Amino acid sequence: MAGGGAARSPGHEPAPFTGARERRDDADLGASRHPSMVAPAPPLRAVSEDAGESLTLEELATVSGLSTADLSELERFGLLMGRRIAGTTYYDADCATIAAIAARFRTFGVEARHLRMYRTAVEREAGFFEQVVTPMLKQRNPQARRQAVDALLEMSRLGSAMREAVLRLALREHTGGAQ
């Protein structure tokens, strides 16, 4: 969930995690320093371009800063999904992003079981989007498929913006109106 978290000024679009660079903007992931935190949140580590689509569990642990046990918990709660090839499970860049974000959440005492709510929300949102694009996909022509993919991408962008704005609104009383 690279697109979620702290309140930001309107129009601020965080760059997606591509693995090509390291993200250090704590505000993008809601990692502002809380007085009760003992240690600062570690920076998100970048996934090397070479590893992009094929990280083993051990490599994912190295990249994210989580233990293999922590990653197994994320997988158990449906937040990570690897692909099994020739007896080895490989994880892609999205899994690396999720693991890195989960590592940041750990600095607040948030565990994999607490993050399951994101998976549940995503499943509901994906089901809703599927209902919208299914009529386009039933047309079975390449142009309709392209329109469906474009619609999914746009609805995803809109959904992210909506979640961010609604969360900002919901948290306003706790932040004293600070954005």
User: Is residue 5, in this structure, part of any structural domain at all?
Assistant: no
Type of residue numbered 34 = H
CB-based burial label for 25 (10 Å; 0-12, 13-18, 19+): middle
Q: What pLDDT, in 10s, does the model give residues 108-139? A: 999 999 999 999 999 999 999 999 999 999 99
User: Is residue 15, in this structure, part of any structural domain at all?
Assistant: no
User: Is residue 152, in this structure, part of any structural domain at all?
Assistant: yes
Q: Is 140's pLDDT higher than 90? A: no
User: What's the distance, Cα to Cα, between the start and end of the chain in Å?
Assistant: 20
Name the token pair of 139: 């047309």
The CATH number covering residue 116 comes to 1.10.1660
User: Is residue 85, in this structure, part of any structural domain at all?
Assistant: yes
3-class DSSP assignment, residue 55: strand
Domain count, the chain: 1
User: Is residue 68, in this structure, part of any structural domain at all?
Assistant: yes
Helices in 8-140 by DSSP H: which ranges? 57-64, 68-76, 93-106, 112-137
Q: What pLDDT, in 10s, does the model give residues 55-98? A: 999 999 999 999 999 999 999 999 999 999 999 999 999 999 99
- pLDDT-derived band at 178, boundaries 50, 70, 90: low
- pTM of the complete model: 0.68
User: Is residue 123, in this structure, part of any structural domain at all?
Assistant: yes
Please report the sign of the dihedral spanned by the C-alpha atoms of residue 11, residue 4, residue 2, residue 107.
Answer: positive
Name the token pair of 101: 């974000």
3-class DSSP assignment, residue 97: helix
| Domain that residue 33 falls in | 26-175
Q: What pLDDT shows up at residue 52? A: 52
* Rounded Cα–Cα distance for residues 94 and 82 (Å): 10
Place of tokens 């809380």: 34
